[in-house]
Amino acid sequence: MAKKIMCMGTSSHVGKSILTTALCRIFYRRGKRVVPFKAQNMALNSYVTRDGDEMGRAQVAQAEAAGMEPMVDMNPVLLKPTGNSCSQVVIMGKPVGNMSAKEYHQGYSLKAFEAVKEALGRLDRDYDTIVIEGAGSPAEVNLKANDIVNMRVAKYLNAPVLLIADIDRGGALASLVGTLELLDEDERELVKGLVINKFRGDVSLLTPALDFLEKKTGKPVLGVVPHIEKMGIDDEDSVSLQDKQAVPTDGDIKIAVIQTPKISNFTDFDALSNEGDVSLYYVQDAADFGTPDVVMLPGSKNTTEDMLYLEKSGIGQLVKKHAEAGKAVIGICGGYQMLGERIMDPHHTESDNDEVNGLGLLGMTTLFAEKKLTSQVKADCNNLSFMGQSISAGNLAGYEIHMGQTDFTRESDSHPFVIRERSRTECNNIEGTACDKGNVFGTYIHGVFDNDEFRRSVLNAVRITKGLAPLENTRNVMAEKQQSYERLADIVEQHLDMDKLMEIMGENNQ
């Protein structure tokens, strides 16, 4: 039977995911077979496992920190918002349908908890340590009766809980005290320690507040974790978009990512934003479009509605003018579909729209099917004509998550990607589209810019058009992620009372 620790927060975005990630790496470094777990994620940033199962990206980062392959047992329930208080419900990696918030919370969530218990049973059997993440706040009294991700999990496992507050946003003491007051007595008993997160400044000035907290609550403060700049770890969901760059800064290449209302998998652009010669910013309004060198259209959980948003907001017209001027436009997944001529959804898999017009920059139409394609892929890029350069790169790793089936309508367009392996099965399927002008292309492959050679080749093509010399690739994104996990673990281990934590978990300190 595994030892457990659960990270809960006083609200969303207080750092539960990050501290869970840190603990996974700390225990991994101590020789434990450690596994992350979150019963239910509500997120538009998702991932596909080797077995073709869909899960939240937060647990993917945590799995990497724990030195293991992501698997759906780490996140058995995933809710993907589609709009109008409705979400696609994914159980054990497979979609089971779209449900309203009321339908899910009042009718289905407790059924979904059966999958949670089964996943926990397997992890409890196979691992030494389970680091569990909660969601939002455990003290939402209107949701507690059907909540399957916070105290229901803690009570089911009798898991000790760390309650985390974000002091950077203010009100940390009140949120900790208030959360504990709203918990039932048996739930309060499970809270074994408090953590102050994202602290800036001299921690000695906080000592009176910590003394007050311990006296008021009867709970020990296990640590004060500092605010960590440039963490280098994938964001969980769109809440973190509030912290993203909204205007371009200095950089040889300015990249505008169009932030549609149902943007998904914006982690596709993280590797680009970390390039030294790139200024990447997010655009929500036409007035903020600026003069980018490259426009990127991201994935979407409601492609037809996001396409209508582009037209209504005026951003779509700006993207078309940008392309007509010979400047670069790139689309991924839903963004790729928007670059085409039409998007059809006769089964209403995402919305009530039967059909919408795309931007018409690529010769293709997309028809939404009732079944979702989820797979890891390996692909080659062969002679992609982009900004006057021919780009080829082999063994590109990524994943697909889409319900659209795309047909090509223009012989002049090219299809530069070839999928060589899909879900561990060899294949030879053409993928992606590039226009004959050489400035617009799209692909279904999420994570394609995590591939170092391909990413630098695309950026260098833009550099050359601006009269700038191409740069050598000096980065290894996967190695950088591992370094980020190490740095995070070092900081948290330094500022958290690990001896006390191990005692709380019933572990021998080692």
Closest by Cα among 368, 343, 259 to 309: 259
Its pTM stands at 0.91
| Known catalytic residue at 446 | yes
Rg (CA), the chain: 23
pLDDT tens-digit series, residues 291-327: 999 999 999 999 999 999 999 999 999 999 999 999 9
Q: How confident is the model at residue 230 (pLDDT cuts 50, 70, 90)?
A: confident
- pLDDT over 90 (residue 437): yes
Q: Which residues, including other chains, have CB under 8 Å from residue 307's CB and lie 6 or more apart?
A: 316, 338, 343, 356, 357, 358
User: What pLDDT, on a 0 to 100 scale, did the predictor assign at position 85?
Assistant: 79
CA distance 56 to 374: 13
DSSP of 173-200, one letter per residue?
A: HHHHHHHHHHS-HHHHHHEEEEEEEEE-
Closest by Cα among 21, 19, 54 to 402: 54
Cβ neighbours of 169 (radius 10 Å): 12
User: What pLDDT, on a 0 to 100 scale, did the predictor assign at position 235?
Assistant: 61
- The catalytically annotated residue of 13, 322, 402, 446 is 446
- pLDDT over 90 (residue 48): yes
Per the DSSP assignment, residues forming a β-bridge with 391 are 384
User: What pLDDT, on a 0 to 100 scale, did the predictor assign at position 510?
Assistant: 44
- pLDDT over 60 (residue 238): no
For tokens 């049973």, name the residue.
Answer: 121
DSSP of 411-466, one letter per residue?
A: TTSB--EEEEEETTEEEEEEE-EE-TTSSEEEES-BTGGGSHHHHHHHHHHHHHHT
- The catalytically annotated residue of 7, 24, 333, 381 is 333
Cβ neighbours of 392 (radius 10 Å): 13
Question: Residues 38, 391: contact at Cβ < 8 Å?
Answer: no
Question: Residues 448, 376: contact at Cβ < 8 Å?
Answer: no
Pairing of strands 221-226, 191-199: parallel
pLDDT tens-digit series, residues 467-481: 999 999 999 999 999
CA atoms within 13 A on the CB side of 156: 19
| Known catalytic residue at 105 | no
Q: Under DSSP, is residue 321 helix (H, G, I), strand (E, B) or coil? A: helix
